Amino acid sequence: MFRSYRFQVGLKAALVAAWAFALSWSVFTGQHILWSVLLGVALLFQIGHLIHYQNQVTERINYFFESIKNEDFSQNFEPRDKSAIIRSLHQNMQLINEYIQEVKIDSQQQEHYFRALIEQVGTGILSFNEKGFVLHANQSLKKLFGLEQLTHLKQLEKVDEKLAQMLQQIQPNEQKLVQYTGKQGTTTLLIKSGAFKNQNDHLRLLSIQDINRELDEKELDSWLKLIRVLTHEIMNSIAPVTSLSESLSNYYQKDGEPIPTTEVSDKLIQNTIRGLDIIKEQGKGLINFVESYRKFTRLPKPEKKLVSVSDLLEKTALLRRAALPDDHTRITVKRPSEKLLVLADEKLISQVLINLVKNAVEALDKQETGEIELIGRETSSGQVEIVVRDNGPGIPPDLMEEIFVPFFTTRENGSGIGLSLSRQIMRLHGGSLKASSVPGQETSFTLRFG
């Protein structure tokens, strides 16, 4: 496009020079006055045509960047102009405009999804900046303090002045237990603080939980860990997008003003399109991450029926033996009594067992001999248990509490949702999934049905 543009500008400039030369020749050689007038008019017309052509291109580029500056992506740059240069310019502008629209729509959808997700959390979530202005407060927090809206921390002074002061003074990574007296009486609040930076703003993130009404304090820890993971993943995707967007913007600006059209080269446009492609891929990656979380939050309700534990273990062993990468790992079944039955959704529990055996196989990947044992048994209290045990390297003690946190993984290609899904499935059955490990000897995962 810009070769043709330079050619057109050069041709028009050459015509201006030619008409100027002809006018000078006419004047200095004493030609008839009519010839000089005609040549002068032709020169003025050619100069005006060149200026109009240059302004036409510059105005369209300025209009395009003004639209981007004002975040107005509704403009259509249809290639309907008579000029081939303008048509080509419109095509490139339309392409860039569509890329930016897609990225903006993706970002808005992701923001709406995560806001909706936080609204469903039973724990109060509050984020605010250094000046005390509230960026987000979910329904659980507003319900806890009896507020319909919360825009600034000073509003909490009407609820509890000491609490409002404490929330402003609490330091990152600090947690406190405070007594709060509200409309529903006095309760104990567990408050944990985190901090992160969003562009140039230092933001504080608080989780506030009424532990008098919670069954287990670890539930809050799980949510905080989940929020940290979600924040980490989101920031890893958004930070390069922000940096790249600034770089692309700087390509076309100098001292706060759009650069002249003559400085826009083919290489610059190619770099711009390449950068926008990268932004698009980052957006898609974040959407895939969100889809993984949707799987975790959309488990079907179990369709329970009596299932033979022995048959369930044999089917699992048969399926996984066929998928073993080599002969150094062996899967055995310790068969329980044929009469041992469990009330469960066979498909969902099979999914849990297959995932646990798969994890065990991967853990044994670097061992010369691997043993995986599937055990079915009945406890002294009449509860049914299924154990998946391996003789792998084990799980470090400091990771035992982390392995069930959604999206936490120690594997390079792991999704981090397998164990979280498995525990959630067991909870839907009214049971539990627990892990125990002796580093260097063995690891066991126990499914206990209530």
Separation of alpha carbons 125 and 122, rounded Å? 9
Cβ contact 97:75 at 8 Å: yes
CA dihedral 168, 170, 175, 181 (to 10 degrees): -40
The C-alpha angle 114, 115, 118, rounded to 5 degrees, equals 85
Residues 63 and 150 in one domain: no
End-of-domain residue from the set 16, 40, 74: 74
Q: Which of 403, 398, 401 is nearest to 419 (CA)?
A: 403
Record the pTM: 0.43
Does a structural domain hold residue 369?
yes
What are 360-405's pLDDT values in tens digits? 988 888 888 889 999 999 988 889 999 999 998 998 888 887 787 7
- The answer to whether residues 131 and 209 belong to one domain is yes
The reply to whether 324 and 412 lie within a common domain is yes
Cα dihedral sign for 209, 214, 219, 223? Answer: negative
In-domain check, residue 249:
no
Q: Could you tell me the CATH number of the domain that includes residue 310? A: 3.30.565.10
424 and 315 in a single domain? The answer is: yes
Please tell me whether residues 60 and 171 are part of one structural domain. no
Q: Do residue 343 and residue 210 come from a single domain?
A: no
* Residue 245 resides in a domain: no
Is position 220 within any domain?
no
Please, what are the averages of pLDDT over each run of 10 residues along the chain (450 residues)? 57 70 72 71 72 66 66 60 62 72 73 70 84 87 86 87 85 84 73 81 85 55 65 67 77 78 78 79 70 65 91 88 79 84 92 90 85 92 92 86 72 68 88 90 92
Residues spanned by the domain of 177:
123-214
Domain boundary, last residue among 214, 246, 266: 214
Q: What is the pLDDT of residue 105?
A: 74
Residue 302's closest CA among 357, 351, 355? 351
Q: Is 197 domain-assigned?
A: yes
With respect to residue 222, please indicate whether it lies within any of the assigned structural domains: no
Whether residue 142 sits in one domain with residue 200 = yes
> Tell me, what CATH number does 162's domain have?
3.30.450.20
Same domain for 422 and 363: yes
Q: How far apart are CA 417 and CA 233, in angstroms?
A: 14
Cα separation, 181 vs 188, in Å, equals 9
Q: How far apart are the first and last CA of the chain?
A: 71
Give the SS3 label for residue 302.
Answer: coil
Using one digit for the tens of pLDDT, what is the confidence trace for 276-306? 877 777 777 677 666 666 665 667 788 899 9
39 shares its domain with 135: no
Shared domain for 310 and 416, answered yes or no, is yes
| Residue 243 counted as domain residue | no
Number of domains comprising the chain: 3
Evaluate whether 408 touches 400 at the Cβ level (below 8 Å): no
- Given 46, 74, 102, the domain boundary residue is 74
Decide if 394 is inside a domain. yes
Q: In whole angstroms, give the CA distance from residue 179 to residue 187.
A: 6
Question: Sheet harboring 134-137: ordered strands across?
Answer: 134-137, 124-128, 201-210, 185-198, 175-182
> Does 440 lie in the same domain as 323?
yes
Residues 135, 51 within the same domain: no
Note the pLDDT of residue 50.
67
pLDDT of residue 443: 93
The pLDDT value given to residue 215: 42
